[in-house]
Amino acid sequence: AETHIKAYQSAVSDHVEKQEESPLIGIIMGSDSDLPVMKAAAEVLDSFGVSYEVTVVSAHRTPLRMVDYAQKAQQRGIKVIIAGAGGAAHLPGMVAALTPLPVIGVPVKASALDGVDSLLSIVQMPKGVPVAVVAIQNATNAGLLALRMLGATDRGILEKIAAYQEDLRKMVTEKAEKLES
Ligand code: RP5
């Protein structure tokens, strides 16, 4: 399993080009099969120049690795954890139970139930253990939400988010004007 994870991590590193030494955001997922969805979170963080790490942590297949990752994340300097999982998607909730950091869950479509199972598994947390949840497969929004969390205490990031919103506004306005002309 370790060899598999190492091979996976090097594939991920190639994909996202670098793993930072003191990342601010942890992007974790239940399986390497979640990567095609979860890479969108990494791409958003790349475009904002915010450091992150990417790895596989499975609640069911590597439970002790999950406990270790979640318990050490805060002391390692991680500020927000983005956790993607499909099916019986227990990873985000279990990680939230083990860390005081904010956790954002990404429901991944991984079964015959089309991701609704993942969404419900992630969103139905008991009182006291919150997980923020984005739409099924929407890792882009998980990246943006993590940035907004950092932006609460980081003016530079907040300004970049405002610029991003302005770009969105312009893009949609231009499309609307084209349609109207
Ligand atoms: C979950 O089971 C993972 O997060 C993934 O979405 C799903 C299927 O995993 P694989 O069987 O493709 O490894 O734990």
For the domain made up of 2-154, give the CATH fold: Rossmann fold (3.40.50)
Mean pLDDT across the stretch 9-15? 50
Which candidate, 85, 4, 72, places its Cα nearest to that of 37? 85
Mean pLDDT across the stretch 160-166? 97
Nearest ligand 1 atom to alpha carbon 86: 6
Residue/partner pairs of 117-121 with CB below 8 Å, 24 or more apart:
117/86, 117/87, 117/88, 117/89, 118/85, 118/86, 118/87, 118/89, 121/85, 121/87, 121/88, 121/89, 121/90, 121/93
- Does pLDDT of 14 surpass 60? no
- The per-residue pLDDT for 153 is 98
- The per-residue pLDDT for 19 is 62
Q: Ligand 1: which of 29, 34, 66 to mutate, judged by most atoms within 8 Å of the beta carbon?
A: 34
Model pTM?
A: 0.90
Task: List, chain by chain if needed, residues with CB within 6 Å of any ligand 1 atom.
Answer: 29-31, 33-34, 58, 85-87, 108, 110
- Does pLDDT of 160 surpass 60? yes
Mean pLDDT across the stretch 31-55? 98
Atom 6, ligand 1: which residue's CA is nearest?
86
Contacting residues for 102 by C-beta, under 8 A, at least 6 apart? 79, 80, 81, 132, 149
- Does pLDDT of 4 surpass 80? no
- Does pLDDT of 5 surpass 90? no
Nearest ligand 1 atom to alpha carbon 110: 6
Atom 3, ligand 1: which residue's CA is nearest?
30
- CA 69–ligand 1 middle distance (angstroms): 18
Mean pLDDT across the stretch 26-47? 98
What pLDDT digit, counting tens, does each position of 94-139 carry?
Answer: 999 999 999 999 999 999 999 999 999 999 999 999 999 999 999 9
pLDDT band at 16 (very low <50, low <70, confident <90, very high): very low
For residues 118 and 85, is the Cβ–Cβ distance under 8 A?
yes
The mean pLDDT of the chain is 92
